[in-house]
């Protein structure tokens, strides 16, 4: 039976890294002027493609790492550092600016579902690293199934926020979205440090 703490950690990690709340206003920008039906179709495609990519990395990511000679503790430390950098971006609003730049660069595209929504905004380096790290923490079919279920749940939340993004943007306002993003950034920073400590503990550098 898996520890409840792992389930909570997995959900918070995936939610913070994917950041559905922060993506909602960017979805509005990328689909500006489109009908509600077109927005729903783009939201479904983006979340579906991102889920397929994350499933592939959850299933085969560790095997690929082993093939090229990278241990899970080493990847855990590297992934923790990557997530910490993502947290710094959130805390200092650099990620929001970069995502906005990506959306501006592709504003002439008719369908932004694959790029930049699915890749790299949803299934980006942070979320890919997270699913590999989480599945590596609890090896076996049960751990894999639960990580994928949690990922699907987070993407379901992302889909709902995409569909209702216009209402949420008006309700929270720019200040509200900034506050939520900063809080999520603090959580991610703490979780990323824990990933690094777990990796160092596996190497024997940190005592349990």
Q: What is the pLDDT of residue 11?
A: 95
Distances (CA, A) of 128 to 34, 62, 119, 122, 177: 30, 11, 11, 9, 24
Q: Please name which of 96, 92, 85 lies closest in space to residue 121, comparing C-alpha atoms.
A: 96
Q: What is the pLDDT of residue 150?
A: 96
What is the C-alpha to C-alpha distance for residues 191 and 14, in angstroms, rounded to an integer? 11
Q: What is the pLDDT of residue 176?
A: 79
Distance of CA 205 to the CA centre of its chain: 29
Assigned token pair, 133: 């790290």
Does pLDDT of 151 surpass 90? yes
Confidence of residue 135 (pLDDT cuts 50, 70, 90): very high
State pTM to two decimals. 0.72
Q: What is the pLDDT of residue 145?
A: 93
Q: What is the pLDDT of residue 207?
A: 66
Of all residues in the chain, the percent with pLDDT exceeding 70 is 88
Q: What is the pLDDT of residue 169?
A: 65
Q: What is the pLDDT of residue 108?
A: 45
Averaged pLDDT for residues 53-82: 85
Q: What is the pLDDT of residue 110?
A: 61
């Amino acid at each position: 039976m898996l520890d409840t703490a792992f389930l909570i950690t997995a959900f918070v990690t995936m939610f913070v890294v994917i950041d559905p709340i922060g993506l909602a206003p960017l979805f509005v920008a990328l689909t500006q002027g489109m009908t509600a039906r077109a927005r729903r179709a783009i939201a479904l495609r983006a979340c579906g493609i991102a889920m397929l990519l994350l499933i592939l990395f959850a299933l085969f990511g560790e095997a690929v790492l082993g093939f090229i000679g990278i241990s899970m503790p080493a990847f855990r430390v590297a992934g923790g550092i990557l997530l910490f950098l993502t947290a710094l971006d959130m805390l200092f609003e650099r990620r929001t600016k970069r995502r906005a730049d990506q959306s501006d660069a592709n504003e002439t595209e008719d369908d932004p579902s694959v790029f930049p929504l699915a890749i790299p905004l949803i299934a980006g380096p942070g979320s890919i690293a997270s699913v590999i790290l989480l599945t590596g923490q609890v090896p076996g079919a049960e751990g894999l199934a639960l990580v994928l279920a949690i990922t699907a749940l987070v993407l379901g939340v992302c889909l709902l926020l995409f569909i209702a993004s216009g209402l949420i943007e008006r309700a929270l306002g720019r200040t509200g979205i900034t506050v939520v993003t900063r809080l999520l950034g603090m959580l991610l920073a703490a979780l990323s440090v824990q990933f690094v400590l777990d990796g160092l503990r596996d190497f024997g550098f940190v005592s349990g």
